[in-house]
Amino acid sequence: MELLQGRIRDYAWGSRTAIAELQGRPVPSDGPEAELWLGAHPGAPATVDRDGTPVSLTDLLVAEPAHWLGERLVGRFGARLPFLLKVLAADAPLSLQAHPDAEQARVGHAADAGRVNYVDPFHKPELLVALSPFEALCGFRDPAESAAAIAAFGVPALEPVVAALRIGPAGLREAVRLLLSWPEAERAGLVADVLAAEVAGPDAVLARGLAVDYPADPGVVVALLLHHVWLAPGEAIWMPAGNLHAYLRGTGVEIMAASDNVLRGGLTPKRVDVAELLRVLRFEVLDDPVVPPVPVAPGVVTWPVPVEDFALHRVVVEAGTPGARLALPGPRVVLCRAGKLAVDDGVGTVTLGPGQAAVGTAAGGPLVIGGEGEAYVATCGLH
Please state the domain count of the chain: 3
Predicted pLDDT of residue 289: 87
3-state secondary structure of 251: strand
Torsion of CA 300, 303, 306, 308, to 10 degrees: -50
Shared-domain flag, residues 19 and 114: yes
Q: Render the burial of 132-155: b for 16+ CB within 10 Å, e for the rest.
A: eebbbbbbbbebebbbebbbbbeb
Shared-domain flag, residues 173 and 277: no
Query: Which residues constitute the domain of residue 175?
Result: 139-224
Instruction: Check: CB of residue 3 under 8 Å from CB of residue 358.
Output: yes
326-340 confidence digits (pLDDT tens) = 999 889 999 999 999
CA 61 to chain centre: 24
Given the residues 80, 141, 249, 264, select the one marked as catalytic. Answer: 264
Predicted pLDDT of residue 287: 85
Predicted pLDDT of residue 329: 83
Predicted pLDDT of residue 114: 87
Q: What is the CATH number of the domain that holds 310?
A: 2.60.120.10
Shared-domain flag, residues 35 and 120: yes
3-state secondary structure of 340: strand
| Cis before 65? omega within 30 | no
Predicted pLDDT of residue 235: 96
Shared-domain flag, residues 6 and 43: yes
Shared-domain flag, residues 253 and 343: no
The domain boundary residue, chosen from 186, 204, 224: 224
Shared-domain flag, residues 134 and 47: yes
Shared-domain flag, residues 278 and 301: no
To the nearest 10 degrees (0 to 180), the angle between helices 159-166 and 143-151 is 160
Q: Is 141 a catalytic residue?
A: no
Residue 126 assigned as binding residue: yes
Residue 99 assigned as binding residue: yes
Shared-domain flag, residues 49 and 153: no
Predicted pLDDT of residue 113: 86
Shared-domain flag, residues 36 and 71: yes
List, for the chain, all residue ranges whose pLDDT scores fall below the cut of 50. none
Predicted pLDDT of residue 365: 92
Shared-domain flag, residues 249 and 102: yes
Residue 356 assigned as binding residue: no
Shared-domain flag, residues 52 and 27: yes
Residue 97 assigned as binding residue: yes
Instruction: Check: CB of residue 220 under 8 Å from CB of residue 210.
Output: yes
Shared-domain flag, residues 92 and 158: no
| Cis before 28? omega within 30 | yes
pTM, two decimals, is: 0.95
The domain boundary residue, chosen from 177, 194, 224: 224
Predicted pLDDT of residue 56: 97
